[in-house]
Amino acid sequence: MDPVELHVTISRPREAVFAYLEDVTNHAEFLDHFMVDWHLTREDPVGLGAGARFRFLAPLQRFPWGDLTFIEVERPWRIVAAGRTGKYTRVRTRAVWQLDAAGEDATRVSLAVASEPKLRSDRLLELVAGRGWARRRFGRGLRRLRSILEEDEARGRRPTLSGGARQPASQFRFDPDRFEPNP
């Protein structure tokens, strides 16, 4: 699919918008109308390497799971996320967030989303639920992003961390005084 390019102007400083977008858990708040069941892929959800797995609510989608990982994070103006979706995760995806100052306390957020289907069947599915579907869904997501940042609108559900409890949530505490090495 050729890139879908969308823009929105947010009445917040660029650094504040970037700090919000750099945390992958926040993406679930404004994209949860078509990306649901978010799970983080690592403990630290901020910056380079942060990622998540989610399920798309798309028409005719038999394999709705996808993922994304931040592969470039250039503070405070650019975030690039790469991912995969579709059957056997063979459809490569890319999203590029570009933040430009649009005045003293305003930021112009540009989003370019593209996918690279591998097989003819994947390309046929994109004809049904491709550019138009992506433009509508991501456009609504950008409008929700603006309302969240400008009006501090109600927040959605936060993603969970895949794999269960992590430190310091687990009850294990290493006590070196009680440690007995194996003979």
Flag whether pLDDT at 167 surpasses 60.
no
Flag whether pLDDT at 12 surpasses 80.
yes
Give a yes or no: residue 132 inside a domain.
Answer: yes
- In the chain, how many domains are there? 1
Give a yes or no: residue 168 inside a domain.
Answer: no
Give a yes or no: residue 166 inside a domain.
Answer: no
pLDDT band with cut points at 50, 70 and 90 for residue 94: very high
CATH (domain of 94): 3.30.530.20
pLDDT value at residue 176: 57
Flag whether pLDDT at 161 surpasses 80.
no
pTM beyond 0.85: the answer is: no
Q: What percent of the chain has pLDDT over 70?
A: 83
pLDDT value at residue 103: 86
Asked whether 106 and 48 are in contact (CB, 8 A), the reply is no
Give a yes or no: residue 182 inside a domain.
Answer: no
